[in-house]
Amino acid sequence: MKTEPMMPNALREYEEQRKMRRTERSLIAAGLCGVAVATAALLWPVPPPPPRITATPIVVPLEVPAANADRVDGGGAVAPQEPVEGAAIEIQASRPIIPIAHEDHETDFLKLADEQIDDGDLKTAFESLRKHIYNHEPTANVLLKIGRLGFELRELAIAEQALLDAGGLAPQDVDIAIERGRVLLEGGDLKDARAAARQAIRIDKENASAWNLAGRVAMAESNWERSESAFQKAVELDPTDPMIHNNLGLLYVMMKKPALAVDALEASAELYGDDVPYFVHNNLGLAYEAAGRLEDAQDAFESAAVANPDYARAQVNLRRVLKTLAMRVDTESRGRRTAGLDLPEVSPVPSPSPSPSPSDSLSSEAPDEPIVE
C-alpha cells in the first residue's frame, strides 16, 4: 500500500500561512469595494422630492355653456358650484391666505368687525373678520362680508377667494354669485364675470341686481344689444333703483341714442333726489351734450364738479362744452354783423371750426363708468 510522504513541519506551516494571506487579501479587496460603493452612493445626486399632493375639497367649475348660451339669461346649462369631497387631487399652490394668524383668544373679532363697519372703518373691519376665521370655522355669511369689504378696499385676490369659498358653502346664495361677479368684473376677468352673472340669474331670475350685473358685463364686452336687454329687465324688476337707470342711460350714451340716454339719466337723478352722485351728473351732462342741449350739459357738468371738486373728468367735459358754446356765440355774432352790411360784394366768411360731435366727445373723454349696483 502506497502512502503519501509526510510533509516536513516547516513546509506545512508555510503553505498554511500562504492560504491565510490569500484569504486576508480577498477580504480586504471586498471591503474596499464596499467602501467605494457606499461613497459613490453618498456623493450621487439625489432627485428632488415629488410635489406635495393633497386631496382637498375643490369647487366644481361651471359646465360648458350650450350653443345658445350667448343670451343674457344663460340659455344653456350652468351648474351651481358645489363642493365635492375627494373628487380630485390638486397640487398645492400659493393662494391668498384669508385668515390672519394671531394669539388673541379673548377678543370677539366678529362683533368688533360689525362695530367697525358701523363706524366706517372698513380696513380694520376687514382685518378683524380675517382674524375671526383664524380660530373659527368660516361661514358663508362671514366670507361674504370679507368679499364685500375686499371689493371696497380693492383687495380683489382675497375677495375673490373668500367669495369662491362662500359659494362652495352656499351654492344657491344669489348674493354670493353677484358679489363674485362684481369682483371679477372689477379685475377685468370678463369671461368668469359673465359666468357668475349667468349663475346668479339661474339661481334667481327675478333678482334685479343679477340682471344689472349681466348688463354691466355685456357693456364691458361692447355687446350693446345684450346689455340693453339685461338693463331693461333689471329696470322692469326694480324700477326704483337709480343705479340701474344710470347704467342704462350710460349705455344709451355709448350707443349714440341721446334721447333715450337723457330719459334714463333724468330718471336716475330724480330717484336719487337731493343726493345725486357726481358721476350721475357727469353722465347726464354727456347725454345732454350728445342731444345738442349744451346749456343743460354745462349745468350738469358744473353740478358734478361741485359735488366732487376732485373729479377731473367733469372739469374736462365742462371746458369742452364751454369752448363749444363760445364758438357758437362767436359764429352767431359774426353772422349778425355780416347780415347788417350793405355791400355789393361780401367776401365769404371762413367757416368756424366745427363743434365737437357727441362721438368726438365720447372718444376723447369716455363716459363715467357705473360704480356699483
Distance CA 19, CA 12 (A): 11
Beta-carbon-side half-sphere exposure of residue 174 (alpha carbons within 13 Å) = 14
Residue 366 lies in a domain: yes
Residue 227 lies in a domain: no
Burial of 283 (0-12, 13-18, 19+ CB in 10 A): buried
Distance CA 239, CA 336 (A): 48
Distance CA 18, CA 301 (A): 114
Number of other CB atoms surrounding residue 237 within 10 Å? 17
- Can you give the pLDDT at residue 77? 32
Q: C-alpha angle 298/281/270, rounded to 5°?
A: 120
Residue 108 lies in a domain: no
Q: Could you report how far apart the first and last alpha carbons of the chain are, in Å?
A: 124
Collect all residues with Cβ–Cβ distance below 8 Å to 252 and sequence separation of at least 6.
Answer: 258, 260, 261, 264, 287
Classify 91 as helix, strand or coil.
strand
Strand residue runs (E) in 113-192: none
Distance CA 253, CA 225 (A): 13
- Can you give the pLDDT at residue 328? 84
Q: Which three cell numbers stand for residue 46?
A: 439625489
Distance CA 132, CA 112 (A): 10
CA 260 to chain centre: 30
- Can you give the pLDDT at residue 45? 56
pTM: 0.66
Which residues are bridge partners to 53 per DSSP?
91
Q: Per-residue confidence of the chain (373 residues) as pLDDT tens digits?
A: 444 445 555 556 666 777 777 776 766 666 666 666 666 556 655 555 544 433 333 333 333 333 333 333 333 333 333 333 333 333 334 456 899 999 998 999 999 999 999 999 999 999 999 999 999 999 999 999 999 999 999 999 999 999 999 999 999 999 999 999 999 999 999 999 999 999 999 999 999 999 999 999 999 999 999 999 999 999 999 999 999 999 999 999 999 999 999 999 999 999 999 999 999 999 999 999 999 999 999 999 999 999 999 999 999 999 999 999 998 876 766 666 665 554 444 444 444 444 444 333 333 345 665 554 5
- Can you give the pLDDT at residue 37? 60
Residue 280 lies in a domain: yes
- Can you give the pLDDT at residue 329? 76
Residue 134 lies in a domain: no
Residue 235 lies in a domain: no
The domain that contains 328 carries what CATH number?
A: 1.25.40.10
Distance CA 53, CA 51 (A): 6
Residue 285 lies in a domain: yes
Classify 127 as helix, strand or coil.
helix
Distance CA 112, CA 134 (A): 15
Number of other CB atoms surrounding residue 369 within 10 Å? 13
- Can you give the pLDDT at residue 99? 93
Number of other CB atoms surrounding residue 231 within 10 Å? 30
Distance CA 167, CA 275 (A): 35
Residue 364 lies in a domain: yes
Domain of 286, in residue numbers: 241-334+352-373
| Interhelix angle 278-290/242-254, nearest 10 degrees | 30
- Can you give the pLDDT at residue 34? 65
How many structural domains does the chain have? 1
